[in-house]
Amino acid sequence: MENRFENQIAVVTGGADGIGRQIAGRLAREGARVTLFDVDAAKAEAACGAFSAEGLTVDARVVDVADDDAVRQALESVASQNGGRLDVVVHCAAIVGPTSTRITDVSIEAFDQASAINLRGTFSITKHALRLMEPRNYGRILLFASIAGKEG
């Protein structure tokens, strides 16, 4: 496998499970120093353990992407521990509600939770990552979405 991400500093949100976990592993296998952000500490720890069993080093932080200040602090911490660098951010954190529910049956609380994570979380990750990448004129931000946007 190529080392396309050799010594790149990467953060993957939603990195403890699903596509985020697969992307975190791929980046690590290709040489990136990966930190995964996830709201579920147990899943994050399990993911890091699985990566370690493969001989990969992946760090984890418990971060709720709906919390703007937590996102800012976590990204700043990763960058400061790496000489101010943040090279790649892959945002996969999201929630999917029931896809067969009529809009008239969705509670405002469920809507607010999905909006906080899926919309505001995407905004926060992008805003704070970009602020850290701009001084170096370098960085890559990838934002993932799902079919739930069409089906939900």
Q: Is 81 a domain residue?
A: yes
Q: Is 71 a domain residue?
A: yes
User: Domains in the chain: how many in total?
Assistant: 1
Q: Is 22 a domain residue?
A: yes
CATH of the domain at 114: 3.40.50.720
Whether residue 30 contacts residue 108, with contact meaning beta carbons closer than 8 Å, is answered with no
User: Which alpha helices (H) appear in the chain, and where do they start and end?
Assistant: 18-29, 41-53, 68-80, 108-114, 121-133, 148-151
Domain span at 136: 9-151
Banded model confidence at residue 132, pLDDT cuts 50, 70, 90? very high
pLDDT in tens, 29-83: 999 999 999 999 999 999 999 999 999 999 999 999 999 999 999 999 999 999 9
Banded model confidence at residue 103, pLDDT cuts 50, 70, 90? confident
pTM higher than 0.95 for the full model?
no
